[in-house]
Each structure stands twice: as structure tokens, then as C-alpha cells.
Structure 1
């Protein structure tokens, strides 16, 4: 049984990683379009990406929009999650449904609604409009992750802190926040990824000054199949791989340094 599960797991990993076998070589291709196998190899398209403002500007826009979206989403979701998980009030069920609504509605429908509404407010084709739209889309997944962590939280720890004289703010900072830190970090990560990868809404409401990287990639592959798309995909894969491997490397370094440090002999 264990061997069968290992084989199935290996096949699943191979299926997921198979596109990288194609994308990475194409990022090094000398072809003028996306072609596999490549006729030759060079680093010209990497140089083109890092020197072309038409690609760097959307990349910077995506980073800024995703960062601001993450901050705004957490500022909204954290108090809302505490209210919905820990308190009972009239309309709580409706509030839960409204929090999850952006996940149930197709993005194309949301994009049309944002386009009309933001157009009336005068913020369509702006970073502000994209940030607000992405925040609405990030709320459901962020709320699900954080509420799952909060439901498993032992509130007796907070009561103990309050009984020892801690104020509500001190209790939150020194007791609640450290315990919920993993959930907050994961929620923030999901909010950032949701915004950075979103394409449909960005196509509708991001103008030239607020063009995001996914929209630029979509327009490029639709018009000319620029191999720079493969370069960006490879770079994003490297960033994700580094983020996954870095904690393991840090743990390994700490273990090696701990073993290498000689123990101080005790004095009798």
C-alpha cells in the first residue's frame, strides 16, 4: 500500500512539474516565439525582460497592488473574523454569506460590475480601482484561513492573561497575536497571491498606468507569443522554489551550527 501511494504521489508531482520541463527551456530559446524544443539557447530574453520598461512597469505595478491589497485585506478581515467567529449578533449568517460571495460569483461577472461601478466613481483604469477590486476578491480565502485558525484557539489563555492584570491590548499583542501568527502569515500570503495572479478583473479595470503583469502576459501571448512570457514564468517558479527551500536550508544551517558548537565543560 505504501509503495502504491508513493508511486501515485510521484506521478502527481510529475504531472504538476511537467509544464516546467517545457517552460524553462523555452525561456532560454533563440526562437522569436514560443517554440519547443528550442532551436538554440541563449540568455537574450532574460536581458530583454530586465531592460524593457514595458515588462518592468507591469511587474512593479503588480507588486505594489498586491502589497497594498494584502495590507488592506488584513485590516478588514482580522476584525471581521473575530466578530463573526467569537460573537453572536443579528444578521451573522447573512454577513458570513456576504463574506464568501466573491468566491461564488464568476470573476467575469465581478469584473463587469466593477467596471460599471468604478466608472461612476472615476477610479476605473487606476491602481486604486484595481486594489479595491482585488481586496474584495481576496477577502473570502483570507477569511476562511483565519477563521479556521481562530476557531481552534484556546480562549482560556486570554482569560488567564486578563486575570493576571493584562489589558485587552496587551492580551492581544502578547498572547493572541503570537499564537495566531502562522494563520495571519498564511492569510497574508494567500491575499498577496490572489492579487498578484489575478487576470480577468485586471483586464477590465486596469489601464495603461495600472497594467498588471498577468494582464501584460495575457495581451502578449494573444498578440505575439513573446518568449519573455516563459522567462517570467521561470523566474516566478524560482522565487516560489526558493521560498519553499529557504526555511529548510535555515533549519539545516542551525542544526549544523548547533552541532559544531562545542559544549562548555562543567566545573566541579
Structure 2
């Protein structure tokens, strides 16, 4: 069944258990990360772990390990599971204590991590996906990568029930992000994406994309945009750890770019793939 990481121990997945009074289970009191693995190597692993520590600090959660110690254990986890292409999921909760809303006087944080095989979504990357448009009803600290994802889940489920890949969220007509991704539009050769405020998660892939814009000669602004601008965009795409640069060919009722990935989106896909290969090695073609 594979090996998982529980605090500093590597155990068989079948032996992994959650205490019924773990605050992650009862309150969502914890933080998490998902790190992409290509050719057995972590892509932007350092950036993900830095964000994990930042999220923990924002919820006043003391992590009982250093970033270097955690990195070493995650590398061992990849090796123990012989993972080639997939993800590491890791989370840290405030630990188990008698149920009360305020922080316990004493508790020990609990780290869990596991690997999963996940192929690159090559067909969708080539053809594009559809997205619904939905109200953003989440809380106002979306910058924290916390375990509290019910608002995201409800939006994603609505998209799934309508046969779409993602839900693009908005607050009173201002687009924020997707249910599990960041959202970008391109109009007149300029990229727009919501600024990294408390209303969105500053995605690691988002940051990589903005860095790559200079390499391909694409101007960008971290500036909020409206549903009208979304509907009038020349290109729309979403980005996340697992979706990479994913073209959106229909947003709500609006067809984008004749239902084909746009030129800048395609260039960013190629630039991101080059960046992955620089860190992780040549990508082997996979289906899925």
C-alpha cells in the first residue's frame, strides 16, 4: 500500500491513523501543501515548503522541525515509494487535545505526508478545458493554505456536476481565483491576474508563470479584473501545481479563443515545461 511519513517515522500506509480529537479532523486547524514530482524529483519544492512555514506562522502553529529536516524526509519518502511522476501531499495539524475552540495549553503538532502517482494531464493541456463561473463564498484569509476547504469543494463539485474542469470564482463581479487554481486572462498581449492579497492563494505555479513572462516577452499586471473583462479576454487559463498552465476554452457561457489554446498560453506552457525539465530532467510522455 506504500509508505507514509508520520512525524519523523516512515510507516506502512495501512498503519496510519488519525486521533478522533485531532484538531485538523475536528476544526480544520492545520495547513497543507501539494508538491509536484517529475522524474522522481520535486519541482519548486523549496518554494512549497517556504509557503508551508508561512501558512503555519499565520495561524500561530509552531512546526517541530526545520525546513531542511522536512525536505530530507520528503526526499526519502519519494525514494521509498519509487515515485516517478505524481505528488506529495503533506499536512500539519495542531495535534490532538480535548475539544475546545481556543488553542490547547499544550499539544504536539502532527505531520503526515504521502505520495500518489499523478500523470501530467497532457490531453487537457493540448485541448483546453471548460470552467463555470461562481460566487466566491469563502472566508477572507484565502492567502493561508489551510485545511478549511469546504467553500472550494462546493465550487469544484458544482463545476464537476456541470461537466467542467474548474469553477472560476468572483466577489461581486471581481474575479479572484479558481476553486483549486489561480486565474489569468490575456487581452491585447497583456496578462492580468488578481494581486496576491488575502483574497487569493499566491500559488507557486502562479509565481513561476509571472517569472516566465519576462522570458517570453509577455507584459503582465497583478491587477484585479471583472467578469466583463473575463468574457472579453483573448485568452484565459488557470494554473496550479497539478494543472500546470491549463487553457480555458469556455468560461461560463463565453467561448474563449475559438475553443483553442491561445498563442501566449501555449508559449507559457512551453516555458513552464522547460523550467520543469531544468529542475527535474527530461519529461517522459505519459497519457492521462
- In the superposition, the TM-score normalised over structure 2's length comes to 0.23
- Structure holding more helix per residue: 1
For the pair shown, which has the larger CA radius of gyration, 1 or 2? 1
